Amino acid sequence: MNFLHTADWHLGQTFYQYDRYQEHQHFLEWLLQTIEKQSTDVLLISGDVFDTANPSVAATKQFYHFLHQATERFPALQIVAIAGNHDSPVRLEMPAPLLENTHIHLVGYVRRTTDKQIDYNRLILPLFSGDKVAAYLLAVPFLRLGDYPKSEENPADYAQGVAAFYAEITRQAVAVAQGKPLIAMGHLHASGAEINDDDTAERPIIGGIESISTANFPDALQYVALGHIHKAQALGGTTHIRYAGSPIPLSFAEKNYQHQVIAFSLEEGKVQHIESLPIPLHTPLLSIPDTYRPAEEVLNALMELPDTAPTDNTPYLEVKVLLNEPAPELKSSIFRAIAHKQVRLARIDVRYLHATAASTDALQSELTLRDLQPVEVLERVYQNKYHEDLPATYRTLFEEALNHLSEV
């Protein structure tokens, strides 16, 4: 059996004011070609199919059109997608009744049995080679607060609860599999994962309490297909516990990532031939300059850009400026400098060399609010009002409220 491990598609993302439909479509068309070239039997999508819990009509159609194309071209292809923290579990599973007689599985959330126990069996899926079951897949979506078994010693310990979830579902899968290989999916933050310090998209999901050790994945799992971290990487010195990464750069911090999918095969009951398949970049991300420089130098650098008309894959531009004090005319000067350049201005990132804290905060808030996660906005508001850090209790309650809203 041949597998492709993908994750973090974030269909429907708006990159600042720009729609990314064409970039995602370029990836999906490449993915169909890759499925054919690799003779893929199983496609894994490890969460964050969509960028928001309420995706646009265009993004939703794009996903279902891909599923239609994939199943029409490759009738035996098995596709499994789990919900990530950006996805609405209910919305992802909504078309499930229409897919009952297909090889497509959309797993949004953890269900409970009539006696309130976690229904692990629903998440243990058989994978077929022809008419025979060749392996079993543990399709574990992003685990929200309350989805996992709670310990009597520390019922609020998220990481311990997730570890207990994987231990128990693996134990039950071993009994079901009767010697057949086990592969797991997950959407989580693993400890030791390499993250760009400037990337707001990859910040911890539940306040830093959710980092899962690779040691928490049982040895019985031959491959662990993870999502959430956008930089493709293997974890903990292993080759089989991996983040596939995002297929396109979702922030300027990701512009130098090697975006890829992971291919591997199952031969004689063992996972083998794990390899990275680079994804061709559709639209570059450009930072001018590479480091923060004074406004005059930045404007001169912008003037040196080529004078050509924009196209569908015109680079997105981030302008990085170092100032001593606020410059009201900066934005207008930048617009004039790039008026006829082959770039699309996405972001003006300002840093101050010598400035009061108040003026810095005011300008930075205006320029970077769209980069912040909701909980970060809450932290800043609380800090400004009460002059102390947001208590952990409030943060947990806020995250629970966000998770509840994403399920609506």
Residue 247 phi/psi, 5-degree rounding, is -75, -20
Structure confidence by residue, pLDDT tens digits, 357-382: 444 444 443 445 555 667 778 877 87
Cβ 224 vs Cβ 242: under 8 Å: yes
Q: What is the pTM of this model?
A: 0.85
Cβ 43 vs Cβ 82: under 8 Å: no
CA 154 from centroid of its chain's CA atoms = 29
CATH 3.60.21.10 fits 2-278, yes or no: yes
Q: Which tokens sit at 396?
A: 């947990």
Structure confidence by residue, pLDDT tens digits, 9-39: 999 999 999 999 999 999 999 999 999 999 9
Residue ranges per structural domain of the chain: 2-278, 285-366, 372-407
More reliable by pLDDT, 48 or 100: 48
d(CA 350, CA 360): 9
pLDDT confidence bin for 390, thresholds 50/70/90: confident
